[in-house]
Amino acid sequence: MSQEIKTIGVLTSGGDAPGMNAVVRAVVRKALMNGVAVKGIKKGYQGLLNEEIVDMKASSVSDIIQKGGTVLGTARCKEFTTEEGQKLGADICRKHGIDGIVVVGGDGSYKGAAALAKQGINTIGVPGTIDLDISCTEYTIGFDTAVNTAMEAIDKIRDTSSSHERCSIIEVMGRNAGYLALWCGIANGAEDILLPEKYDYNEQSIINNIIRNRKRGKTHHLIINAEGIGHSTSMARRIEAATGIETRATILGYMQRGGSPTCKDRYFASIMGAYAADLLCQGKSNRVVCYQKGEFVDHDIQEALAMTKNISEYEYQVSRLLSGNV
């Protein structure tokens, strides 16, 4: 028989993502509607260990759904990767009467949630990362906002690059996953798209493509480079030296994490947050909320972490076709 849930907590962990506030809002309001008290844990697992814990009311989450970032704050916590830190976190939960926690974040946050569950604290994970790299779900909160932010910035850079007849290398985030780069590459009409999952580090082929396109009359060349490959500035220097064409690198960086979340991110975050609150209130634990085949579902955390995810070969080939690289 599952334990009675009287109080749950909610925290955001790891890198922030647009839409995290919508998750927090949904968790708080759905749990309260279920007759369960809610505590907000500030600054992720670090805040848990520091006992930065506050009571949450329905009014606590008013006027936050449209805001970027996370009102609870977030941080990475090395101490929580140790068994001692995990046990301390569980003890602090019990001290504050917290029966379960909704953890919003990526794979690293899920590992922390699994560790808490092992220590007897019910946990539910919600996928919050702009990288779209969580294998068990087709969508992660923050991706839509981030990819649109990047796309709009790249459009602007392309305008000035065309005016000056330059080659532009735009580096987007995503860690070791190429989803942001692939989507932007297609949406922005890039001539070369460099993905960690596919790139063979044959820079000469990029140089040849630039020269070939210039001979065809193209006045600019756009390269979308994923963060997992990086080194955009040094790459730009080498390309300029080899082609004689002015080449500039732009690293979009943290602007991709900011900004008001899109409708899609607010919607997915709201449904996933409510779903997570319901799971905790039902006494469920060690689960993650996912979106698969048009439905919101949940999986065991360990099973979710063991799943793999790859760039679609068809989508990759379409990106090459549209860029003229076949």
User: Which residue type is seen at 80?
Assistant: F
**Residue 324 reports pLDDT greater than 90:** no
- Clarify whether 192 is annotated catalytic: no
Average pLDDT on 5-33 reads: 97
In degrees, to the nearest 5, what angle opens at C-alpha 194 toward C-alphas 265 and 109? Answer: 40
pLDDT confidence bin for 61, thresholds 50/70/90: very high
Query: How far is it, in rounded angstroms, from Cα 7 to Cα 55?
Result: 10
pLDDT recorded at residue 76: 87
Domains of the chain are 7-142+261-306 (3.40.50.450), 146-257 (3.40.50.460)
Task: Give the 3-state DSSP-derived string for 64-85, with helices as H, strands as E and coil as C.
Answer: CCCCCCCCCCCCCCHHHHCHHH
Query: How far is it, in rounded angstroms, from Cα 285 to Cα 124?
Result: 6
Of the candidates 216, 273, 224, the one whose C-alpha atom is nearest the C-alpha of residue 30 is: 273
Higher-scoring residue by pLDDT: 326, 91: 91
Q: Which two tokens stand for residue 261?
A: 């979340």
Average pLDDT on 73-95 reads: 95
Computed over every residue of the chain, the mean pLDDT equals: 95
Active-site hit among 99, 131, 265, 298:
131
Residue 277 neighbours by CB distance under 10 Å: 28
162-175 per-position pLDDT tens digit: 899 999 999 999 98
- What φ, ψ does residue 8 adopt, rounded to 5°? -120, 160
249-302 per-position pLDDT tens digit: 999 999 999 999 999 999 999 999 999 999 999 999 999 999 999 999 999 999
SS3 category, 294: coil
Bridge partners (DSSP) of residue 135 are none
pLDDT recorded at residue 2: 54
Q: What is the DSSP letter of 286?
A: S
- What φ, ψ does residue 87 adopt, rounded to 5°? -65, -40
**Residue 1 reports pLDDT greater than 70:** no
Bridge partners (DSSP) of residue 39 are 9, 55
Query: How far is it, in rounded angstroms, from Cα 55 to Cα 71?
Result: 14
Exposed / middle / buried, residue 325 (Cβ in 10 Å: 0-12, 13-18, 19+): middle
pLDDT recorded at residue 145: 98
100-149 per-position pLDDT tens digit: 999 999 999 999 999 999 999 999 999 999 999 999 999 999 999 999 99
**Residue 152 reports pLDDT greater than 90:** yes
